[in-house]
Amino acid sequence: MRYLQHSFLRQGITRRFFLRAGLVGACACMLPWPALAKKAATPAPSAAAAPAATPAVNFYVANRDKLLTDFKGVCAGAEHWLAARTAEPTAQAIADDALRRYDRMLPGMPDIGGATNRNQPFLIMAGWLTALYQAMGEKGMTAKDSGRLLYDLYAADWAAVPPQKAKAMGAALFSVAYLQSLQDWATESQKKKYPGDWIGKVLPGDGKTYDLGYDYTECGAVKFFKAQGAMAVAPYYCLNDFLASRAQGTGLSRQHTLAQGDALCDFRYKRNRPVTQNWDTETPKFPGNKPA
């Protein structure tokens, strides 16, 4: 892991590639997406003029350059990860192919409200993993391989975050303001405005086993993986939540996920509780990995 981290940092794979995209676990209230919202929004019509009929702005097309720049950084880290496991020309070919696939993918990614949606960065990350999974599959690699690649990149990214900063991110999860924002989101999600979006409900802490909980009954990432023919990689994608929670000290425990065919994802957070779930504890439970 030390080698991976240093290699990624030399190539510019610092926390900006994940944290700039707002991938800070459950603390989506900190996302820096309003700047993109201003860029993508259409001007309000003048009160004196009749509103003109204009096509809806495609968030991904409007922000293509930034999204590709972010993913180029991820691909640089992926290439180094792959070069330690396969021939360097193969590693480069996979990274280049993933970037091309992601570029082609962007215009057709699901509209979930763009910068106004707290879960937009997680759908973007699902796009990253899908492109990597498809490109790696062309070279005979598996869903588990691509899942591990992203898991290791994400772990290295969190290792580069100063612990005090990570803990501050985690503390925000338990604030009154965050709980209210989460409740507002859950209420809005029940309207099902966007078919490709998440739907959930909030469970205030029980004072014993968890301080904050929420359930997803629909997951935008799972829907996306399914639409892309990439469901095999979905369970691995979910493991990154444990990395974020461990770094932030938010004590995530989760026993069910939609990605594994369950009826819901049950997130339960307890401040400063050790996070005991990780790649080694969870992957043996995944479909296809269970003993016969």
How far is Cα 290 from Cα 206, in angstroms, rounded to an integer?
33
Task: Let me know if residue 254 belongs to a domain.
Answer: yes
Task: Let me know if residue 25 belongs to a domain.
Answer: no
Beta bridge partners of 268: 213, 253
Per DSSP, the three-state class of 102 is helix
CB 141 within 8 A of CB 98: no
DSSP 8-state secondary structure symbol assigned to residue 118: T
| CA-atom Rg of the chain in angstroms | 19
pLDDT in tens, 126-157: 999 999 999 999 999 999 999 999 999 999 99
Task: Let me know if residue 139 belongs to a domain.
Answer: yes
Task: Let me know if residue 46 belongs to a domain.
Answer: no
Tally of domains in the chain? 1
Task: Let me know if residue 40 belongs to a domain.
Answer: no
Cα dist. 100→52, 97, 105, 131, 233 in Å?
Answer: 35, 5, 9, 8, 19
Task: Let me know if residue 87 belongs to a domain.
Answer: yes
For the chain, what is the mean pLDDT? Answer: 85
pLDDT in tens, 19-60: 433 333 333 322 222 223 333 333 444 444 445 444 578 999
pTM: 0.83
Task: Let me know if residue 53 belongs to a domain.
Answer: no
Task: Let me know if residue 43 belongs to a domain.
Answer: no
User: Which domain does 143 fall in, by range?
Assistant: 2-20+60-285
β-pairing, 199-204 with 252-253? unpaired
